[in-house]
């Protein structure tokens, strides 16, 4: 089971990066201990705390010639990880 799916790169999370907090989209079944272990192994930092939230997908509707199509965007789980002072995660080093 892959715990970390992708990092969150939004304006709100980028503002948190200056405070030592980083956001990730994680597997829905992963708990905080597994998320902490995965971040420490992948990025080589020490994690102080993990906050998680399940983001419910938005309902969307689209008008077509024949009818209205309605559905939902997918739900996912977010994790905000706080790292120790002095530790930095660089998402852009591989670009």
Tens of pLDDT, residue by residue over 33-67, are 999 999 999 999 999 999 999 999 999 999 999 99
Indicate the domain borders of the chain: 4-85
| The domain made up of 4-85 is a member of CATH 3.30.70.330 | yes
Strands 4-7 and 59-63: what pairing?
unpaired
What tokens appear for 22 in the block?
Answer: 């980083």
Q: How many CB atoms lie within 10 A of CB 51?
A: 13
Global pTM value: 0.84
Read off the pLDDT band of 92 (50, 70, 90): confident
């Amino acid at each position: 089971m892959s715990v970390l799916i992708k990092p969150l790169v939004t304006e709100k999370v980028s503002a948190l990066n200056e405070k030592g907090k980083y956001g990730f989209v994680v597997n829905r079944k992963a708990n905080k201990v597994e998320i902490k272990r995965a971040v420490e192994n992948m990025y080589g930092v020490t994690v102080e705390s993990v906050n998680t939230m399940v983001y419910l997908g938005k309902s969307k509707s689209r008008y077509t010639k024949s009818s209205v199509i309605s559905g939902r965007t997918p739900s996912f789980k977010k994790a905000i990880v706080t790292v120790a002072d002095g530790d930095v995660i660089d998402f852009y080093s591989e670009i």
